[in-house]
Amino acid sequence: MVRLYKEMPIPAAILAVDRPKNTVVIAYGKDKSLYAVRQRVGCKNVGGRHLPVNGPTIGHIVDGAYVPISKEGPKPVSPDAVDLKDWADIVHADSVFRDLLDELKKVYAVSDALKIYCIAILRVCNPGIKDNELKEAYDDSFLSELYPGVALSKNTVSTFHSNLGKSCSRIISFMQNRAAAVGMDHRLLIDGTLKSNESKVNTLSDFSRKAAVRGSRDISVLYAFDLDTMEPVCSKCFPGNMLDITAYESFISENNITRGLIIGDKGFPASAAESHLAGHPDLHYLNPVKRNSKLIERHKMLSFEALLPGHEGMTYKKARVQGKDKWLYSFRDTSKAAQEEKDYLKRAKAEGTYDDKEFRSRQLSFGTIVLECDLDLAPEIAYKAYAERWEIEIIMRYYKSAYGFDETRVHDDYSVIGSEFCDFLSTLLTFRLIKSFDKARVLERMTYGKAMSILHRAKKVRYDESGWRLLRINPSHEQLLQDIGLLPKPEEAPKRRPGRPKKSV
């Protein structure tokens, strides 16, 4: 190679500047007018010649003087150095959710378990967050302090969701471990929810009965909810066009649900899982019966016999199914009956379809519900067990809307399964947060959403090497942090003992 220019020598005045021994001056810059001082760290043998090896730059020559680089001086600004981070929501979520990390580590490598765990927390603390925003949210939150080094870049998360789905046997193992921990006396609600999925490249996305009306594709997510611990136990994805009755037995057998009381809806009749129920004597069911069922007429379940204890305006009847270890429980709520009657009359007269004979036959069933169970229960217990499912329905609707989980954000089957697994854990975390707020009586004065919004605004800042400090917050917000144990409660000043009474003059 031919040299096109000749390097300018270092001026003698620069070389004469006093500097540390075993160093060399290097000219740099556009016109080679800047001078760095580099340390000599050794030599190497090249063709029999001993050539010096330059090490790091330890200083510069500025205005005729050597200026060392101070190790104690300010460090350059780095995009990874975040000194203001979301604190309260992340730390509280971690405190109620940390045991799930141990459950994940039983079936996943530590690095994978941490990814799943962090994704679930970030989705709850940042409602509607997209996968390509997870890395920034992680860096800007205390999650990166609690669990440093978790890889959550856009490409990493995308590939990870797919890999999670491909290794779905591990998801099944995780769900089975949770189902195995359910107590024999616990009540399990099994229900499903539809989630929009417009992808054309996965087989889970298909038109459900509801979706066909509105012209969109859905996936169906079945879940089991423990009404005693008030949290989800397990879940599974199915195509949106699969009937509930078809998915029911597959769900409880695959997740190895073998004990407890299953509370289903009309779409999950016990007959759909008869073989599984027969093989597990510790597993029982409580299901509503359709209003046109012959069992109702045969056992005269609409001829109510007594008032339900603890429920004003509620009548009931209990009967054993002839020749079987099965019981029927019917209930009639007078307020609901009046509302149903009003709605029926209003609709029939508006449409001009009122028929007195039909009205009289249907009037008997207004405000009623009939339950079927393979256990001999007190009527009030059977009613309470089924009635509590509606509370869960309300929260599951919150799960779909508030967190943006009603539309899947991935495309192929594997990625849908992986992403839904993370969503399941986010739902589980949501219920645990609700329980923690309820236990601290926070929900008596504010909503769950308001409480999470306050926690999200409580941040910590790092001023120097002494550590992190909480930014000053509103006193009412500080009260919330004290109630849930993130801040110590102030000690009450000791009451002064009463002094001696004044002497009468």
Q: Is residue 2, in this structure, part of any structural domain at all?
A: no
Q: Is residue 10 a contact partner of residue 19, using CB atoms and an 8 Å limit?
A: no
pLDDT tier for residue 210 given thresholds of 50, 70 and 90 = very low
Mean pLDDT of the chain: 82
Query: Ranked by mean pLDDT, which of 100-114, 307-321, 408-422, 470-484 comes out on top?
Result: 100-114
pLDDT of residue 463: 78
- Measured CA distances, 300 to 280, 314, 317 (Å): 31, 17, 9
As for how many domains the chain has, the answer is: 3
Q: Is residue 234 a contact partner of residue 260, using CB atoms and an 8 Å limit?
A: no
- For residue 156, the one-letter residue type is T
| 473 torsion bin: left (phi>0), alpha (psi -120 to 50), beta (else) | beta
CA separation for the pair 486, 29 (Å, rounded):
53
* pLDDT beyond 60 at 203: no
3 state SS of 24: strand
DSSP 8-class letter at 496: P
Which residues form the domain of 133?
80-182+409-489
Q: Per mean pLDDT, which range of 315-319, 394-398, 440-444, 474-478 is the poorest?
A: 394-398
pLDDT tier for residue 202 given thresholds of 50, 70 and 90 = very low
Start-to-end CA distance of the chain, whole Å, equals 116
Let me know whether 398 and 432 are in one domain: no
Q: Nearest Cα to 38, choosing from 52, 21, 24, 17?
A: 24
* pLDDT beyond 80 at 129: yes
* pLDDT beyond 70 at 323: yes
Let me know whether 158 and 217 are in one domain: no
Let me know whether 42 and 166 are in one domain: no
DSSP 8-class letter at 219: E
C-alpha torsion angle, residues 84, 89, 90, 95 (rounded to 10): 140
* Beta strands at 283-288 and 260-263: parallel, antiparallel or unpaired: parallel
Instruction: Give the Cβ contact number of residue 472 at 10 Å.
Output: 7
In Å, how far from its chain's centre is CA 415? Answer: 17
More confident residue, 467 or 488: 488
Q: Per mean pLDDT, which range of 33-37, 461-465, 497-501 is the poorest?
A: 497-501
Rounded mean pLDDT of 54-68? 87
Q: Nearest Cα to 145, choosing from 78, 94, 74?
A: 94
Let me know whether 374 and 424 are in one domain: no
Q: Nearest Cα to 386, choosing from 456, 442, 311, 320?
A: 311
Work out the percent of the chain whose per-residue pLDDT is above 70: 82
Let me know whether 313 and 355 are in one domain: yes
pLDDT of residue 390: 65
For 272, residues 6+ apart whose C-beta sits below 8 A from its C-beta are 245, 246, 248, 249
Q: 413-439 and 88-105 are packed helices; what angle lies between their axes, rounded to 10 degrees?
A: 120
Let me know whether 235 and 313 are in one domain: yes
For 251, residues 6+ apart whose C-beta sits below 8 A from its C-beta are 190, 222, 224, 236, 238
Q: Is residue 1, in this structure, part of any structural domain at all?
A: no
pLDDT of residue 481: 95
Rounded mean pLDDT of 307-318? 91
Q: Is residue 238 a contact partner of residue 222, using CB atoms and an 8 Å limit?
A: yes
Q: Is residue 392, in this structure, part of any structural domain at all?
A: yes
* pLDDT beyond 80 at 45: no
Rounded mean pLDDT of 265-271? 73
* pLDDT beyond 60 at 413: yes
Let me know whether 110 and 145 are in one domain: yes
Q: Which two tokens stand for residue 113?
A: 């378990």
Q: Is residue 30, in this structure, part of any structural domain at all?
A: yes
* pLDDT beyond 80 at 85: yes
Q: Pick the last residue of a domain from 359, 378, 406.
A: 406
Q: Where are the beta strands (DSSP E) in 279-400?
A: 283-288, 306-307, 314-320, 327-333, 368-373
Q: Pick the last residue of a domain from 340, 373, 406.
A: 406
pLDDT of residue 341: 92
Helix (H) or strand (E) holding 212: helix 209-214
Q: Pick the last residue of a domain from 406, 435, 450.
A: 406
Interval 139-168: pLDDT, tens: 999 999 999 999 999 889 989 999 998 998
Q: Nearest Cα to 125, choosing from 456, 424, 460, 485?
A: 456
Let me know whether 110 and 84 are in one domain: yes
* pLDDT beyond 50 at 393: yes
pLDDT tier for residue 385 given thresholds of 50, 70 and 90 = confident
* pLDDT beyond 60 at 272: yes
Q: Is residue 75, in this structure, part of any structural domain at all?
A: no
Let me know whether 133 and 229 are in one domain: no
Q: Is residue 64, in this structure, part of any structural domain at all?
A: yes
- For residue 142, the one-letter residue type is F
pLDDT of residue 215: 44
CA separation for the pair 465, 442 (Å, rounded):
35
pLDDT tier for residue 357 given thresholds of 50, 70 and 90 = confident
* pLDDT beyond 90 at 292: no
Tell me which residue has tokens 């996965």.
202
Let me know whether 356 and 428 are in one domain: no
Rounded mean pLDDT of 181-186? 85
3 state SS of 299: coil
pLDDT of residue 264: 79
Let me know whether 467 and 483 are in one domain: yes
Q: Is residue 348 a contact partner of residue 244, using CB atoms and an 8 Å limit?
A: no
* pLDDT beyond 80 at 236: yes
pLDDT of residue 75: 56
Interval 434-446: pLDDT, tens: 999 999 999 999 9
pLDDT of residue 433: 95
Q: Is residue 505, in this structure, part of any structural domain at all?
A: no
pLDDT of residue 498: 65
Rounded mean pLDDT of 344-360? 87
DSSP 8-class letter at 464: E
* pLDDT beyond 70 at 253: yes
Q: Across the chain, which distance is largest between two alpha carbons, in Å?
A: 117
Q: Is residue 495, in this structure, part of any structural domain at all?
A: no
Let me know whether 255 and 396 are in one domain: yes
- Measured CA distances, 159 to 154, 156, 227, 320, 363 (Å): 9, 5, 35, 55, 57
